[in-house]
Amino acid sequence: MRAARTAYPLTWRIMDVLEGVAAAVWPARFRRATPYLMLLPAVLLVGLLVLGLIQIADASLRTLDTTFQFSDDYSIANFRRALIEPLFLVVAQRSLVAALIVTAVTLVFAFPYAYLMVRTRSPGLRKFLLIALFLPFFIGQVVRAYGWLIILGNQGMVNEALGLVGVAPMRLIYNYPAVLFGLVQYMLPFAVLMLAPALTAIPEELEAAAGSLGANWVRTFIHVVLPLARPGFVGAGVVVLTLSLTDFAVPAILGGGSQDFIANAIYDQFFRTSDQGLGAMLALMLVALGSILVGLVFALFGAGTLAMGRSRA
């Protein structure tokens, strides 16, 4: 009896053709250069970013003449204005304080969420927590901010509910607490995603061993879980801090124009007053402030989960 011939799958033929084309375009002797080729898109993006920063730095040292054109001479007039004018000092202070408050509050709320998501024995609960975590990413920051306007507005759901029990309407939006609340709600998923890997890396046996040695849950949490979760705190803190410091949409929408951050001031200089030089200087100061804060965090606490697996003594 003649044996049946096994047909060569079409997908395998296509892969053979693609491998042949790849071998012709990129011979085997070029394999050592393959990692550098993979880095080329990242190098290109970083190069474009550096080029943009150079152009911003050039614009920041120029002022506008009577025809609203850049002057040919360089000066530090924009730098002096950014440091002297009270408006920009207030905006910078408001942005920095808000970023620190949002980072602290977000980490406090994100850690229990991440811990429960990692340690729960229920697959259903874990799936629910994951869905609830990723769902906000499909909505968008602007849509969420406008949603809070509907909920917290003067005729919003919260004030209507308060009116049913005889409480007068309260101003829940267009103020500093509303901006902080919106930022915490926006930053929470980012913090949870940064904390979850650090908590997953902590063996449950360590907590069980601490309990077997007489430590209660509180002492185990303070002396075992929190120290081992420090890389996650550092990574989440850096991400939340930088995103909060540079945020634009939430202060603009929930602040109502009265609680602007540095990003809002930069937008105003570029597109409302048409003072690109001052806007460029504010952008450089924002980059410098964020870099200094991140550098301080790295110097004090290490790079955390952003260190790509390298441990710090």
Do 289 and 217 meet the contact criterion of CB atoms below 8 Å apart? no
Q: Burial level of 195, CB count in 10 A (0-12/13-18/19+)?
A: buried
The Cα–Cα gap between 151 and 159 comes to 8
pLDDT of residue 305: 61
Look at residue 1 in the predicted model and tell me its pLDDT. Answer: 46
Start-end of CATH 1.10.3720.10 domains in the chain: 78-307
Instruction: List the structure tokens of 234.
Output: 């550092």
pTM above 0.85, yes or no: no
| Alpha carbons 188 and 91: distance in angstroms, whole number | 24
pLDDT tens series, the chain, 313 aa: 454 555 778 888 888 888 888 778 777 777 787 788 888 889 999 999 999 999 999 989 988 776 667 777 888 999 999 999 999 999 999 999 999 999 999 999 999 999 999 999 899 999 999 999 998 888 888 898 989 988 988 888 888 888 888 888 888 899 999 999 999 999 999 999 999 999 999 888 888 898 888 888 888 888 889 999 999 999 999 999 999 999 999 999 999 888 999 999 999 999 988 888 999 999 999 999 999 999 998 888 876 665 545 544 4
User: Sign of the C-alpha dihedral, residues 178, 139, 101, 105?
Assistant: positive
Q: Which fold has domain 78-307?
A: MetI-like fold (1.10.3720)
pLDDT at 246: 94
Residue found under tokens 């202070």:
93
Indicate the DSSP class of residue 166. Answer: T
Q: Is the dihedral of CA 128, 130, 136, 137 positive or negative?
A: negative
Is the CB of residue 245 less than 8 Å from the CB of residue 99? Answer: yes
| pLDDT for res 5 | 53
Q: Across the chain, where does the E strand assignment appear?
A: none
How far apart are the C-alpha atoms of 88 and 94, rounded to whole Å? 10
